[in-house]
Chain A
């Protein structure tokens, strides 16, 4: 009886602190936005750093969504940029050829780009994820390159010319004249939505299933989980958000080219996930931010920039795996603080 009461009491306490955490997170989300917009409004950031705001947000969306597949499901995907590319080109083709009010047009473009990317994700995931082993890595690697080649090969309708005829352009040239709808407000709203959805997913029934498959697929099957179905689900969700990120990045600058979304981009995204920690949403956010800003900070050292970037990357990886870092995690007060900031896991 008494233990029953105790657990009830402590669960009440838990519920109360949970509401506080939710309030804290909402305040944090608003506060960060206010800070960013004041940095922009009062010209505290110079032009170069202002130009980084959208890429940072896009990279966060990419990293968090790839983490669903690589960190939580435990499958290696090397084609995230391929889905991004599908989103970018779908979205740009839509806004170039439609004549709607800007906001509506852009929202539809985002949803459309995500959906088309998700459909591709489904058709790639179905054969690749039914097999055990690292087939997904190979298939997604090929997929990214194939998408690039296909877009280069196509003739794309790119709006109308002065006479009212549809202009066709070669895919290799990419698309130009895209409305640059995507400012930092758009990307901020999108990334908050993506993070909340991914964090909620992980803490839901479906997220538990996904992590259980990563930890032990045979045990997952033994408790009645249709493993391949949930693998595909995770993969499709990630592809959708990669598509969304693609649409946003495609509307940040007036020109997009197929080569913008190649294998190297996929690897960059994977690096965010690995550095931030597999299965840590917070880690993905931090890593994507730091690694997007870092090349800009290193710009003054010119020729040594990429060298320094690589060295810092290795140093950060080593730090993340160090005893010092593990000690920080074990420190209770620190754990409480980071617990408050925790979105996923």
Chain B
């Protein structure tokens, strides 16, 4: 059974069909790319998958369960984590706290344990610190744990967002343009990191990216969206040499 099975998914904004009749099959453990010209509906598709928008039609099956109609937080609990195209960090919180707050459903203690500082508070906080630091280390952010998220340089902010999403222990991780605004060196390093987290955390990744080198370099399969509909899908070699894709996207 596929991890994620999307059938006939669509949404309209007024008269605009931002996503139309989209079908997706995502298998466990693979790394997928989602590409398409500006305004093709890629981010909208992510928003549909995470319950930010409700689809006008279609189904989204995660591990055999239809998640259409669920809230964003419920979908995260069900196993989808994500990052945002326009970075959405908790700016006035430290790097460490950004990750720790994402552990909230993994390591719990009651309100009273927290305000009265019961032993459970110290125990769980220590566990959270350890897990969060381990995740930060994957992204080479461990030296910055006390920095406010808003004071991080841009590239590190993107990494922190991925770290935060990972902390929720997702089965499926959605990355919206993770390399946007990074220089070639940072991009190359990020590619390695993405591959590493797929293996280390044993998860499935779907990423939106405009950087063709990154997509072709690490994705096993690519979906191409154009005007909200599927234009092509397949391995990088097949898709990137598809004449329709070249005219719609690469040629532009």
The answer to whether the Cβ of B227 comes within 8 Å of any Cβ in the partner chain is no
> Are B121 and A226 neighbours in the complex by a CB distance under 8 Å?
no
Q: Determine the chain A residues whose CB is within 8 A of the CB of B107 once the complex forms.
A: 205
Contact A222 B115 (CB under 8 A): no
Interface residues of B (CB under 8 A from A): 50, 52, 71-73, 76-77, 81-82, 84, 88-93, 97-98, 100-102, 104-105, 107-109, 111, 113-117, 121, 124, 128, 133, 142, 164-165, 167-168
Q: A residues within 8 A CB of B104?
A: 205, 208-209, 223-225
Using A200-B115, A201-B115, A204-B114 as known contacts, say yes or no to A222 and B72 having CB atoms under 8 A apart.
Answer: yes
Q: Is A82 an interface residue (CB 8 A)?
A: no
Q: Return the chain A residue nearest B100 by Cβ.
A: A208
Is A266 engaged at the interface, CB distance under 8 Å to the other chain? no
Which residues of A have CB within 8 Å of B124?
205
List of A residues within 8 angstroms of B105 by Cβ: 224
Instruction: State which of B76, B97, B115 has its C-beta within 8 Å of the C-beta of A208.
Output: B97
Taken together as a complex, chains A and B put the C-alpha atoms of A136 and B77 apart, in Å, by: 28
Residues of B close to A221: CB separation below 8 A = 52, 71-73, 76
Q: With a CB–CB cut-off of 8 A, which chain A residues contact B52? A: 218, 221
Contact yes or no, B90 A212, CB < 8 A: yes
What is the CA–CA distance of A172 and B108 in the complex, to the nearest angstrom?
A: 48
The answer, yes or no, to whether A134 is at the interface (CB within 8 Å) is no
Q: Tell me, rounded to whole Å, the shortest Cβ–Cβ distance linking A124 to chain B.
A: 20
Q: Which residues of the other chain, B, contact A79 by a CB distance below 8 angstroms?
A: none
A189 within 8 A of B: no
B93:A211 contact, CB within 8 angstroms: yes
Among B72, B77, B97, max chain A CB count under 10 A is at B72
Q: A208 with B88: in contact, given A223-B168, A224-B168 (CB under 8 Å)? A: no
Most B CB atoms within 10 A — which of A205, A207, A226? A205
Contact of A219 among B89, B114, B115 (CB under 8 A): B89
Closest chain B residue to A226 by CB distance? B73
Whether A206 sits at the interface, judged by CB under 8 Å, is yes
With A224-B168, A225-B73 as known contacts, state yes or no: A219 contacts B93, CB within 8 Å. Answer: no
Task: Check A212 against B93 for contact (C-beta < 8 Å).
Answer: yes
| 22 A–B contacts, CB within 8 A, in A order | A200-B115, A204-B114, A206-B111, A208-B93, A208-B97, A208-B101, A208-B104, A209-B101, A212-B93, A215-B93, A218-B84, A219-B90, A221-B52, A222-B76, A223-B76, A223-B104, A223-B164, A223-B165, A223-B168, A224-B104, A226-B73, A279-B92
List residues of chain B with CB within 8 A of the CB of A69. Answer: none
Rounded to whole angstroms, the CA-CA distance of A7 and B130 in the bound complex is 12
Decide if A141 is an interface residue (CB 8 Å cutoff): no
Are A219 and B84 closer than 8 Å at their CB atoms? yes
Contact call A200/B88, Cβ cutoff below 8 A: no
5 additional A-B pairs beyond A201-B111, A205-B128, A216-B90, beta carbons within 8 Å, are A200-B117, A212-B101, A219-B84, A221-B52, A223-B104
> Is A233's CB within 8 Å of the partner chain B?
yes
Residues of chain B with a CB closer than 8 A to A207's CB: 114
Contact in complex: B84, A224 (CB < 8 Å)? no
- On chain B, the residues within 8 Å of A233 by CB distance are 111
Closest 4 pairs (CB-CB, A-B)? A204-B114, A224-B76, A221-B72, A215-B90
Could you say which residues of chain B place their CB within 8 Å of the CB of A218? 52, 72, 84, 88
Known contacts: A204-B115, A221-B73. The answer to whether A211 contacts B92 by CB under 8 A is: yes
Minimal beta-carbon separation of B96 from chain A (angstroms)? 10
Name the residue of chain A whose CB is nearest to the CB of B150.
A215
B179, chain A: closest CB distance, angstroms: 19
